Amino acid sequence: MPSDEQIRTRLRAWVLTKATGLSAADLTDRTPLFEERHLRSVHLPELLLLLERLRASPIDVEDLRPGDFRDIRTMVARFGGAQVTP
């Protein structure tokens, strides 16, 4: 399983391929991705699949909360390796 830092790096790379009007220099771990419309709701299913692949564990959509996808920092904290139970 990738470390939280590896997950962060992969998320950043993915966001940069999907985000509109966002450069690598402007993307931080606290950049509001959906709020600032860098990502749109159409990106959410692909983002969920990416997170599931990275953590090697399914995400129960019933447990999702508002704000889980706010920024990279939040996603790593919510879905990163430290949060996965065997």
Percent residues over pLDDT 90 in the chain:
79
- pTM assigned to the model: 0.86
Percent residues over pLDDT 70 in the chain:
92
What was the pLDDT predicted at 35?
Answer: 94
Going residue by residue through the chain, which has 86 residues, state the pLDDT in tens, using 9 for 90 and above: 788 999 999 999 999 999 988 999 999 999 999 999 999 999 999 999 999 999 888 999 999 998 999 999 999 999 986 543 33
| Cα angle value 60/72/22 (rounded, 5°) | 125
C-alpha dihedral, 14 to 17 to 18 to 19, nearest 10°:
100
Homologous superfamily in CATH for domain 4-83: ACP-like (1.10.1200.10)
Owner of token pair 């990106």: 43
